[in-house]
Amino acid sequence: QVQLVESGGGLVEPGGSLRLSCAASGSAFGFEIMDWYRQAPGKKRDLVATINSDGRTNYADSVKGRFTISRDIVKNTVHLAMNNLTPEDTAVYYCHVPLGSWYPETWGQGTQVTVSS
Dihedral Cα 46, 19, 85, 113, nearest 10 deg: 60
Helix (H, G, I), strand (E, B) or coil at 13: coil
Of 54, 53, 1, which Cα lies nearest the Cα of 27?
Answer: 1
Condensed to tens digits (0 to 9), the pLDDT of residues 36-56 reads 999 999 999 999 999 998 999
CA distance 95 to 1: 16
Structure confidence by residue, pLDDT tens digits, 57-109? 999 999 999 999 999 888 889 999 999 999 999 999 999 999 988 889 999 99
Q: Are strands 111-115 and 10-12 parallel, antiparallel or unpaired?
A: parallel
